[in-house]
Amino acid sequence: MDGLQPLIDFVAKHPRLLVITGAGCSTAAGIPDYRDENGAWKRQEPMRYQLFVDSALARQRYWARSMLGWRTMAGALPTAAHHALAQLERAGRIVQLVTQNVDGLHQAAGSQAVVDLHGRIDTVCCLGCGVRSPRRALQEELMARNPDWLALDARSLPDGDADLESLDFAAFGVPACPHCGGLLKPDVVSSVKACHVSVWRLCVRRWRRPMPCSWPALH
């Protein structure tokens, strides 16, 4: 309790809170984080937007991993932390929650004033026509197209390009947008610039005026 006392005192002193959460809020739900305590990558660095749109093989590798990893994401349930934050919001103590997580567990726990800073992994966006659709529907299509992959464990997939020959990612079937035939990508923020824009829009929408900050200029 002694370690929590500064937090308890802060919450008691400030009745209207803006809360920012990160990966640590969801690790207890079985969703792994990407970095260690020193900020180094624990596993392969997340897919970059430019590589995703430029390389068909990169997209196949991404969706193959995603199809297997979706089992963990789709089955995750809100943790005690998610429920506690939702309860604080219902009590009027939290006026805004900004999360770096893409799992939607804050909303599943009942929080409503949520800004998904990096987007949501449970939604898919078409880069051609902009239509958004549930990730669940794409999962069903991926499984139907790639039944031989369903027996694999996501942890068995190679981490680097040098190991790609061990699995035939080029044979993995990736569906296109049913509306325009365009590329489908997870509806998550793909750049630091886009993340900054999300925060700026939040500031304008919430406080109706610019807030001083030290973020890099947006070009």
Instruction: Please give the positions annotated as active site.
Output: 118
> First-to-last CA distance in the chain?
46
- Nearest Cα neighbor of 47 from 28, 36, 38, 34 is 34
129 near 183, Cβ under 8 Å? no
CA distance 182 to 131: 10
Helix (H) or strand (E) holding 186: strand 184-188
With vertex at residue 201, the alpha carbon angle to CA 197 and CA 203, rounded to the nearest 5 degrees, is 115
